[in-house]
Amino acid sequence: MKIVMAQINPVIGDIGYNVDKMLKLVGKALEKKAHLIVFPELAVIGYPARDLLLRPEIVNRIENALRENILPASSHIGILLGAPVKDPLSERLYNSSLLFYDGSVVGRQDKMLLPNYDVFDESRYFQPAEECRPFIFQGRKLGVTICEDIWNDEDYWNHCRYETDPVKELVARGAEFIINLSASPYHFGKIKQRTDMLSAIARKHQRCVIYVNQVGGNDELIFDGSSLAFDSGGRLIRQCKSFQEDFVILDTELSCGTDLTGSITEDIGYVYNALILGIKDYMFKTGFRKAVIGLSGGIDSSVTAALAVSAIGKENVLGIAMPSRYSSQESIIDARNLARNLGIEIREIPIERVFSSYLDELNKSCDLSQDLAEENLQARIRGNILMFISNREEYLVLSTGNKSEMAVGYSTLYGDMAGGLAVLADVPKTMVYELARHVNCDQEIIPHRILIKPPSAELKPNQVDEDSLPKYEVLDKILKAYIEENRTAAEITAQGYDHSLVQEIIRRLERAEFKRHQSPPGLRVTTKAFGTGRRFPIAWRP
Amino acid sequence: MKIVMAQINPVIGDIGYNVDKMLKLVGKALEKKAHLIVFPELAVIGYPARDLLLRPEIVNRIENALRENILPASSHIGILLGAPVKDPLSERLYNSSLLFYDGSVVGRQDKMLLPNYDVFDESRYFQPAEECRPFIFQGRKLGVTICEDIWNDEDYWNHCRYETDPVKELVARGAEFIINLSASPYHFGKIKQRTDMLSAIARKHQRCVIYVNQVGGNDELIFDGSSLAFDSGGRLIRQCKSFQEDFVILDTELSCGTDLTGSITEDIGYVYNALILGIKDYMFKTGFRKAVIGLSGGIDSSVTAALAVSAIGKENVLGIAMPSRYSSQESIIDARNLARNLGIEIREIPIERVFSSYLDELNKSCDLSQDLAEENLQARIRGNILMFISNREEYLVLSTGNKSEMAVGYSTLYGDMAGGLAVLADVPKTMVYELARHVNCDQEIIPHRILIKPPSAELKPNQVDEDSLPKYEVLDKILKAYIEENRTAAEITAQGYDHSLVQEIIRRLERAEFKRHQSPPGLRVTTKAFGTGRRFPIAWRP
């Protein structure tokens, strides 16, 4: 059977756009004489559509679009796609796969396993299917699963989250192929994990596995695509591109796979490409063409600017250097050199006069100075200038703070945190350096001095980050253990860290929740990002 | 049986504080010779504890506190309380009620119905119970339910959310009383709704119903308390205070109820008291003693200041008037008079010089002026000044924007939206006026002119809100239909509104999501607030 893996990038909510995109690919698949074309989970509305799914008009519009556009296109080809389906009797919503063929719906299988952890809220919207049965299509039995349905193999995982394994059920009911429609977001290491797991499942059940994933950035989530097909021996037959749309055809009878055992690796370039896609799609889907970034001459803003140039082109990126009385001459030169190397416009707007005018008003009856209030004020003046340029000239402000800072609150609310998208919000500082070395791998784009000088916020004389924070190598390891691995303070200490340091970092992390609550969406590239996947109260006490 | 309704205000996460509070009330109940004391849902950790529930150390600390402190206190009294309980076999977490008596746990009933809509995420944390059975206590059968468990009566509701009704099951199994442990957040109208429903359930099953609710503000949610007891005829026996802790004893044999049919009403004073509690608890639980508010001489900041004074006392509230070149003389006088009437300190910090210094830098190469960028800049300068005072002098900034503005994006990110808590974020403009009249009911606190002048942001010459927005009476009705009642544009138009106006408002609402994403937590007082109960994507297209 000739099957097309149609790895598309839907725009959430834009049913017309998504259906048009699908119809074009159906046409292309017909030209290639494919029997079946497979689209990702919820492809018709995009993932995650969140509370849009609760709006009555959306579900009606989807029903109409499927009936009027997809159904007639299925005369000579099977179209398998993901859509939310409201059961006419119970009025309950399902996360479904629908198979259209010859002008009618010949199969519907609802998702059985609904993820409701981390960034996922599917129990908020959907009912789970109670059972799964293969579709009969052209005399073959297709076992169709949706995303999470394939992530519960009792042999692959030490701990199963759910009691049922839809794949096992489908194979028991005679499924000849396993097809999975996914919207599976990226984190560093996910592609290797997914490939290993799918290969093991194909091998175990001796079934061809065809996995079609959504691609694209949707707010904080980045879907990498990287769709895969395995033969019944678990060998890789086909692989779609990562971080872009793709259209790949395979013939289940003819394809001959490659054994991948132990050969898959992911390097920092994947994170780089993920972030590019996250920026590009956030801008495209919100309607921005141009981005502005405050360039401090530090590593975070340099990497952010390099990413922005890769995402939208140098002609659409504007850098603003905003030196203060505490900025070093080196920082300004480094920012200029970075802009020159990237080929972007840079404007210099010193903040000294504005800063002084605030201090004239605010220090009148007060002999305090150089306190935290003044440090934050400088960052907020810069935030205001960027937002002014955004408002006047229609630039999106990209904020540049990294995950390590966001974790411990080493950032200024409405200051360096201001912006529409926080590009590095889930990138620990040590990984920011890895990204910088990746940017510089062929030639020096980010001036070398930026990579070697001690990080500094330059908000008071001779300030460096390590005055207030432990070394980033240590901080990042403790943060990873706490945030990503959910370790206790005692467990982290037992890994060889100073107990009071561990406690101090956790305390700072907890106290900074009020800042993160007001931060722009941040692109997720680790297993646990701040944002919708990590929900903490603000007003609480440990 | 003598039962104490112990309506407490726990601090989320502070197990020691919560257990101490409970032990004091257990002592008091023993003095009163009560047989049983009942605490709210999850009282030991507070509600909603959110992802704290996923932290392994928290659940262990709760187990220890219950074993070491609650168990020994139960020698002569039954202690019924809500706690998260990890099943030792499955390692799964339950939202449980535990009955301690005579030094052991004599009953455990897990919550059956887990709400996972609006602000609730219980499926993220808990497994549901599969059945419920009455506890035997002192020879009587107690039917214990937890919050949502009692909200699914098939006769009371037109539409049941769940298939099972735990109350019905417990009565069928011989429960003589129905007890409900709750953490049920307030919205305007909720007390009447809850009282009506519980009375109907008592009457239907001919059982005494004892309902013990949490009280207190936890970030955006305000729990009103208002615990209730009904006799088996549905007549009210006891009622705890709203919006404060309470300790009420009742004797199920002796109590004689009052028929409430049709007599319960809620006026705007409830919303006022809810907001006071929300402010007070947010400050207490985050450790702030003092609050600062930008006083524009408008209605929103006036009502916010009056609320703050009621919450924390006039000596802890600071008003800042920040006039600009566009501020009217009337506004400054109104702000001063408000401060005088409230008895709060007011400082005047004109923004003209700072504003000019920004414009000198930013209008250099540009002949634009008085555009949206300049309007927003003024609001952001004011935000910076408030944050400066917050950082230097440890005031919490209370932001003053109302729900109508937040809905259509008539607000400045990092400007008037800046702050730690958005007091009126769920109060529509028309309800802000009702609150103002409530404040003034005995004497003129808010200067009369503030109530009658046309609302204006005063960010450009002769600006009034109605230049950019429809009349608030119309806007608020359309917003309520769309947000709270989930109506479609067509349905709202059919209620008699102009179709293009309805569409324009919805479009503005959708486009302002990026602002709301970065807003401070806002106190919830309607059935659908912006915040955790309403989750929309930013990058999407209708």
Selected for mutation to probe chain B from A92, A397, A411, A541 (highest B CB count within 10 Å) is A541
Nearest CA-CA partner of A183 in A101, A81, A281: A81
Nearest CA-CA partner of A380 in B301, B395, B386: B386
Selected for mutation to probe chain A from B354, B411, B506, B527 (highest A CB count within 10 Å) is B354
Residue of B nearest to A422 (CA): B518
Please tell me whether residue A339 adopts helix, strand or coil conformation.
Answer: helix
- For residue A125, the model assigns a pLDDT of 98
* A275: number of Cβ within 10 Å: 27
Longest dimension (CA), chain B: 86
- For residue B368, the model assigns a pLDDT of 67
Nearest CA-CA partner of A541 in B504, B287, B73: B287
- To the nearest whole Å, the CA of B8 is away from the closest chain A CA by 16
Instruction: Determine whether the interchain pair A361/B371 forms a contact, defined as Cβ–Cβ distance below 8 Å.
Output: no
Instruction: Determine whether the interchain pair A385/B361 forms a contact, defined as Cβ–Cβ distance below 8 Å.
Output: yes
pLDDT in tens, B358-385: 999 999 866 667 799 999 999 999 999 9
Instruction: Determine whether the interchain pair B286/A514 forms a contact, defined as Cβ–Cβ distance below 8 Å.
Output: yes
Apex A67 CA angle, A63 and A69, nearest 5:
115
Q: Which residues pair with B247 in a beta bridge?
A: B6
What CA–CA distance (Å, rounded) separates A403 from A434? 14
Nearest CA-CA partner of A475 in A418, A429, A542, A531: A429
Which of A356, A392, A535 has the CB atom closest to B373's CB atom?
A392
- To the nearest whole Å, the CA of B255 is away from the closest chain A CA by 38
pLDDT in tens, B467-509: 889 999 999 999 999 999 999 999 999 999 999 999 999 999 9
Nearest CA-CA partner of B112 in B175, B56, B170, B57: B170
Which of A282, A387, A540 has the CB atom closest to B376's CB atom?
A387
Instruction: Determine whether the interchain pair B392/A368 forms a contact, defined as Cβ–Cβ distance below 8 Å.
Output: yes
Q: Tokens 């009217």 belong to which residue?
A: B328
Per the CB < 8 A criterion, the answer to whether A395 and A389 are in contact is yes
Per the CB < 8 A criterion, the answer to whether A322 and A385 are in contact is yes
Instruction: Determine whether the interchain pair A414/B116 forms a contact, defined as Cβ–Cβ distance below 8 Å.
Output: no
Which of A54, A420, A539 has the CB atom closest to B219's CB atom?
A539
- To the nearest whole Å, the CA of A474 is away from the closest chain B CA by 22
- Percent of chain B whose predicted confidence (pLDDT) is above 90: 92
Instruction: Determine whether the interchain pair B392/A381 forms a contact, defined as Cβ–Cβ distance below 8 Å.
Output: no
> How is residue A258 annotated by DSSP?
B
- For residue B291, the model assigns a pLDDT of 98
Residue of B nearest to A394 (CA): B373
- To the nearest whole Å, the CA of B257 is away from the closest chain A CA by 38
With beta carbons under 8 A apart, name residues in chain B contacting A281: 539
Instruction: Determine whether the interchain pair B537/A218 forms a contact, defined as Cβ–Cβ distance below 8 Å.
Output: yes
What CA–CA distance (Å, rounded) separates A186 from B355? 44
Do the bridges between strand B317-321 and strand B290-294 make them parallel or antiparallel, or are there none, so unpaired? parallel
Instruction: Determine whether the interchain pair A539/B282 forms a contact, defined as Cβ–Cβ distance below 8 Å.
Output: yes
Burial of A305 (0-12, 13-18, 19+ CB in 10 A): buried
Nearest CA-CA partner of A221 in A1, A525, A540: A525
Chain-centroid distance of CA A447 in Å reads 28
What CA–CA distance (Å, rounded) separates A239 from A229? 6
- Return averaged pLDDT per consecutive 10 residues of chain A, 542 residues in all: 97 98 98 98 98 95 97 98 93 96 96 98 97 96 98 94 96 97 98 96 97 98 97 94 97 78 83 98 97 97 98 98 94 97 98 96 78 95 98 97 97 97 98 98 97 91 88 97 97 97 97 97 98 97 91
What CA–CA distance (Å, rounded) separates B400 from B421? 9
Amino acid of residue B392: R
Which of B285, B356, B377 has the CB atom closest to A540's CB atom?
B285
* A286: number of Cβ within 10 Å: 18
> How is residue B255 annotated by DSSP?
-
Per the CB < 8 A criterion, the answer to whether A147 and A41 are in contact is yes
Amino acid of residue B247: F
- To the nearest whole Å, the CA of A164 is away from the closest chain B CA by 16
- To the nearest whole Å, the CA of B287 is away from the closest chain A CA by 9
Selected for mutation to probe chain A from B483, B493, B511, B541 (highest A CB count within 10 Å) is B541
Q: Tokens 């989530």 belong to which residue?
A: A221
> How is residue A520 annotated by DSSP?
P
Cis preceding linkage at A48, omega within 30: yes
- To the nearest whole Å, the CA of A540 is away from the closest chain B CA by 5
Instruction: Determine whether the interchain pair A121/B121 forms a contact, defined as Cβ–Cβ distance below 8 Å.
Output: yes
What CA–CA distance (Å, rounded) separates A158 from B97? 31
- For residue B466, the model assigns a pLDDT of 86
With beta carbons under 8 A apart, name residues in chain B contacting A116: 116, 123-124
Instruction: Determine whether the interchain pair A11/B540 forms a contact, defined as Cβ–Cβ distance below 8 Å.
Output: yes
Amino acid of residue B395: Y
With beta carbons under 8 A apart, name residues in chain A contacting B348: none
Selected for mutation to probe chain B from A114, A351, A391, A527 (highest B CB count within 10 Å) is A391
Instruction: Determine whether the interchain pair A51/B384 forms a contact, defined as Cβ–Cβ distance below 8 Å.
Output: no
Per the CB < 8 A criterion, the answer to whether B385 and B485 are in contact is no
What CA–CA distance (Å, rounded) separates B386 from A301? 27
Q: What tens-digit pLDDT sequence spans chain B (542 residues)? A: 999 999 999 999 999 999 999 999 999 999 999 999 999 999 999 999 999 999 999 999 999 999 999 999 999 999 999 999 999 888 899 999 999 999 999 999 999 999 999 999 999 999 999 999 999 999 999 999 999 999 999 999 988 999 999 999 999 999 999 999 999 999 999 999 999 999 999 999 999 999 999 999 999 999 999 999 999 999 999 999 999 999 999 998 876 777 776 677 899 999 999 999 999 999 999 999 999 999 999 999 999 999 999 999 999 999 999 999 999 999 999 999 999 999 999 999 999 999 999 999 999 866 667 799 999 999 999 999 999 999 999 999 999 999 999 999 999 999 999 999 999 999 999 999 999 999 999 999 999 999 999 999 888 888 888 888 999 999 999 999 999 999 999 999 999 999 999 999 999 999 999 999 999 999 999 999 999 999 999 999 98
Nearest CA-CA partner of A411 in A323, A310, A522: A522
Selected for mutation to probe chain B from A60, A346, A354, A483 (highest B CB count within 10 Å) is A354
Across the A/B interface, how many CB contacts are shorter than 8 Å?
226
Which of A388, A488, A538 has the CB atom closest to B56's CB atom?
A488
Which of B385, B534, B540 has the CB atom closest to A12's CB atom?
B540
Instruction: Determine whether the interchain pair A362/B55 forms a contact, defined as Cβ–Cβ distance below 8 Å.
Output: no
With beta carbons under 8 A apart, name residues in chain A contacting B281: 539
CA distances in angstroms from B105 to B173, B175, B258, listed in the order given: 21, 19, 35
Please tell me whether residue B80 adopts helix, strand or coil conformation.
Answer: strand
With beta carbons under 8 A apart, name residues in chain A contacting B286: 514, 538-539
- To the nearest whole Å, the CA of B297 is away from the closest chain A CA by 21
Residues of B serving a catalytic function are 41, 111, 147
Cis preceding linkage at B48, omega within 30: yes
With beta carbons under 8 A apart, name residues in chain B contacting A362: 349, 385, 388-389
What CA–CA distance (Å, rounded) separates A25 from A86? 26
- Token output for A211: 């996995």
Residue of A nearest to B15 (CA): A542
